[in-house]
Amino acid sequence: MQQTYKFVTAEEAASYVNNGDIIGFSGFTPAGCPKEVPTAIAKRAEAFHAEGKEFKVGMYTGASTGDSLDGALARANAILFRTPYQSNKDLRSALNDERAPYFDMHLSSIAPHLRFGFMPKPKFAIIEVCDITADGELVLTTGVGISPTICNLADHIIVELNHNHPKELRGFHDIFEPLDPPHRLPMTLLTPSDRMGSTVVKVDPKKILCVVETWRDDEVGGFTPTDEVTDKIGQNVANFLASEIKSGRIPEEFLPIQSGVGNIANAVMASLGTNPDIPTFEMYTEVIQDSVIELLRNGKIKFASGCSLTITTPILKELYKDLEFFRDKLVLRPQEMSNSPELARRLGLITINTALEADIFGNVNSTHVMGSKMMNGIGGSADFTRSAYISIFTTPSTAKKGNISAIVPMVSHVDQNEHSVNIIITEHGVADLRGKSPIQRAEEIIENCVDPAYQQILRDYLALSGPCHTPTDLHACFGMHTEFMKTGSMLGTNWENYK
């Protein structure tokens, strides 16, 4: 079947790509990203640069990618622009050094914005698949991302056929691309396990420029093990949700969970998995991590819908051995579906994401260190938060050995605002912000969530302002941040300097 396509080396595939070209890449997180061709493009860029020639490409991805993609192209200084999310060390350096213009956007919006023409259309789509048919059926691997859209929009498709993923992944995907307004129809899902699309991405075979074979694993990093702080955060989340069920504010049949990425998210999943007051549940989320697979195996999670299987290689290999067990328990969808505000609000998601910092009024910074430096990006956190049934943000109360309070008078960048954040949880406790005025919220957060070393500093900040709706001192509001930048610790913050 596949012989109708032109099989080439990664270098030959990369040779089609020229300076200024725009590329859309498959995958979501390192899961499902192409690996061989991006690295070959980076080498091609380096060769051009060595000859003193320009070589940069525009890059659209689903979310973050593997090091062989973002890392290789960033190190080659080959990035014309990059959107919508990243988490690679070298790319992070590049965009904070102003070597790579980066547009940090909501993950649900990139595919439609590309179709609408809000950003230039990609010339190439580079897509990892586990199978390809002669009539243009692409079976994706572990991440869907924006693959359907870039396959439709691109002039040329370069396929990476990855033999490390079984062809039997056919059936695990639910590929749907909505019509654009004014012709858009409702998304029909009523539960996380419903389906509304195809199992494959269907393309015109003539658009497939070439196929590169590979046997490389997804570059999914392991997570730091949970510790006392993250365990306590996880327990606080589980106990809070159990008490909400008891009070009737969350229905007793429970609601689907969306959970972010990382070691706090893993601790939260572990606590939900073991807390006897949490019923069995479903996930409707972006990223399906190792911890979800374990809970699907033991039955605590009934079903998981996501955009990617971001699973470490040993766990993924075990999953592939039991593929039939998981066939009715997992589905992977484009991020336009997995992160859809329509579906988040209809399904009634309980959303659990991580804050980089939060302020005493409930605003959350998800992206910027000290207001200036991009960490990763907003990802899907606001897609979910904004339309959640109930939105939760977690964070350890301090960072840098206690020298940073994660809770400050004003966040140095706002990614989720007070209007959309319902609950903040640290290892110290839970702040319930629903229905509270800014001053009431500040008291709730300071008393329940802030590290004891910082409580009085924040109480004193509040007292700087006279009567008003939201006590904000525009001289002093970043006093904790600037103290840290000067001394390496927020602990010495002295409001007398601002009076």
> Amino acid letter at 439?
I
CB of 108 to a second copy, least distance (A): 9
Per-residue x/- marks for a second copy, 392-431, CB under 8 A? --------------------xxxx-xxxx-x---------
Q: Judged by CB under 8 A, which of 80, 119, 323, 453 binds a second copy?
A: 119
When asked if residue 340 is in the footprint of a second copy (CB under 8 A), the reply is: yes
Residues in the interface with a second copy (CB under 8 A) total: 84
Q: Judged by CB under 8 A, which of 166, 205, 341, 402 binds a second copy?
A: 341
CB 383 within 8 A of CB 111: no
Task: Give φ, ψ of 157 to 5 degrees.
Answer: -115, 125
From the list 137, 160, 219, 286, the catalytic residue is: 286
CB 490 within 8 A of CB 402: no
Q: Judged by CB under 8 A, which of 15, 19, 96, 403 binds a second copy?
A: 96
3-state helix, strand, coil in the chain (%, to 5): 35, 20, 45
> Amino acid letter at 261?
V
Active site annotation includes 318: no
Task: Give φ, ψ of 4 to 5 degrees.
Answer: -65, -20
The H or E element containing residue 92 is helix 89-96
Of 347-376, binders to a second copy (CB under 8 A) are: 347-348, 363, 368, 370-374
Of 439-498, binders to a second copy (CB under 8 A) are: 439-440, 465, 467-472, 474-475, 477-478, 481-482, 485
When asked if residue 95 is in the footprint of a second copy (CB under 8 A), the reply is: yes
Best CA proximity match to 482, nearest among 352, 339, 371: 371
CA distances from 426 to 402, 444, 458 (A): 14, 12, 16
Of the two residues 141 and 152, which places its CB atom closer to a second copy in the complex?
Answer: 152
When asked if residue 102 is in the footprint of a second copy (CB under 8 A), the reply is: yes
CB of 87 to a second copy, least distance (A): 14
Of the two residues 50 and 179, which places its CB atom closer to a second copy in the complex?
Answer: 179
Of the two residues 211 and 410, which places its CB atom closer to a second copy in the complex?
Answer: 410
Of the two residues 135 and 180, which places its CB atom closer to a second copy in the complex?
Answer: 180
SS3 of residue 98 by DSSP: coil
Question: What's the CA gap between 140 and 171, in Å, rounded?
Answer: 10
Going by the DSSP 8-state scheme, the letter that residue 4 receives in this structure is G
Of the two residues 42 and 95, which places its CB atom closer to a second copy in the complex?
Answer: 95
Question: What's the CA gap between 27 and 137, in Å, rounded?
Answer: 17
Best CA proximity match to 260, nearest among 297, 303, 239, 230: 230
When asked if residue 436 is in the footprint of a second copy (CB under 8 A), the reply is: yes
Question: What's the CA gap between 272 and 45, in Å, rounded?
Answer: 47
CB 251 within 8 A of CB 211: no
- Look at the block and give the residue holding tokens 């190439």: 124
Of 243-262, binders to a second copy (CB under 8 A) are: 247-249, 251, 253, 255-256
Of 171-210, binders to a second copy (CB under 8 A) are: 180-182, 184-188, 190-191
Of the two residues 86 and 226, which places its CB atom closer to a second copy in the complex?
Answer: 86
Going by the DSSP 8-state scheme, the letter that residue 331 receives in this structure is E
Per-residue x/- marks for a second copy, 274-313, CB under 8 A? ----------------------------------------
Q: Judged by CB under 8 A, which of 29, 386, 421, 450 binds a second copy?
A: 386
Active site residues: 286
